[in-house]
Amino acid sequence: MITHCRIANIRSTVDDKNVSGYVVSYKIISSLPDEDPLTVLNAAAVAHGDKPAWDTSVRCNGATADQVSQDGKSWLLILTYGKSISPWDKPVDIAFDSTTFQSPMLKDLDGKPIVNACGDPPLKVVTFDDKRPNMQISFNFPYFEGTIKEFYDHDGDDNTPKRKRIRNDPMMGLEGMWNFCNTAENKINSKEFLGSEKHTVKIAKCNARKIADAQYGDYWEVNVSFEWKADKWHPYLHRNVGLRARGSAGPDLYPETGSDKETITDFDPLAANDNRISDILLNGVPVTIPQPLDKNGKWLYYEVDGGGKVPAMDKITYIPYKMYEELDFGEYFSWDIKEDAKRKKTDKLGEDGEDA
């Protein structure tokens, strides 16, 4: 049984990285010889991770107990304190990189279409090395099972709900994290995100790993990769070309708009004014290279001297298709996510650490 416990000495320290800390010595006296060392270690009622009253910027990170008398009743308990950050207080890590891929080249840098001397496109699409910038963020938050109370941002002292969080509550267990990652992955931004306009950013990857920590308990390590596309992920622009055309072929060309890609916004193949479809012929022979079409499916060509025809490759149009679901990234990945986690965990466990 411990009969005496008092601080004998406090010594401040600075390590080679100029990080301050403390070494606190306690004189412990027991009524029994050869007291259980664990009882001595707990005599000062200081747990691993506790903060001293005189400096809340440090935490207890170590303890030793030495027997210092021949009768086995006197002990010297030494506690060390240093800078320590809980996993969920760890700042968000941000890294930048790029994704490389092959991109089709329809026009050169001067805007000239990639065609041969007869105006025909190559049999095999010309590609070039391209890249997209991406950003990876990593952050942690606590893991625990159970239902978490809905959390609101409050406006003023009247406790009136200002804004309800609409993102998933990831500070749960396995099911909550699964939903969090599955909801985010492969989505594009529905609103401006980090200065980029909507539909230009996609979540390429979202994964999480559960880590066990003896001091702070289990927590999630989450990694999210964002990928940028300057000409937008949505809509996907499909080249409007083919080997067949609707109705009688004729020079129904689009006017120049100054844009690299003329987009058909009112495309409806079932509403085309002429549903007769036939092979596109050049000199009486069906073409084998896809030809440009207008929004009604008619062949786009130029007439040349002698009555010949060449495809109007500089007039290629594009049909937009929706490919990705949208998500408000700013709301889903609010930068105060770790503060939310701590507040939600307090709501769940209660102020005294017991289940609420």
Same domain, 130 and 214: yes
Same domain, 128 and 18: no
Report the first-to-last Cα separation within the chain, whole angstroms: 35
Residue 139, classed as helix, strand or coil, is: strand
Question: Is the CB of residue 134 less than 8 Å from the CB of residue 228?
Answer: yes
In a domain, 354, yes or no: no
Which of residues 49, 84, 119 is at a domain's end?
84
Question: Is the CB of residue 21 less than 8 Å from the CB of residue 58?
Answer: yes
Same domain, 313 and 332: no
pLDDT per residue over 45-88, tens digit each? 887 778 888 888 888 888 888 888 888 889 899 999 987 667 76
pLDDT per residue over 168-218, tens digit each? 344 457 777 888 888 899 999 999 888 889 999 999 999 999 888 776 678
pLDDT of residue 45: 81
**Between 315 and 27, the higher pLDDT residue:** 27
In a domain, 355, yes or no: no
Q: Which of 185, 229, 199 is nearest to 322 (CA)?
A: 199
How far is Cα 248 from Cα 240, in angstroms, rounded to an integer? Answer: 17
Same domain, 198 and 103: yes
pLDDT of residue 23: 93
Question: Is the CB of residue 282 less than 8 Å from the CB of residue 229?
Answer: no
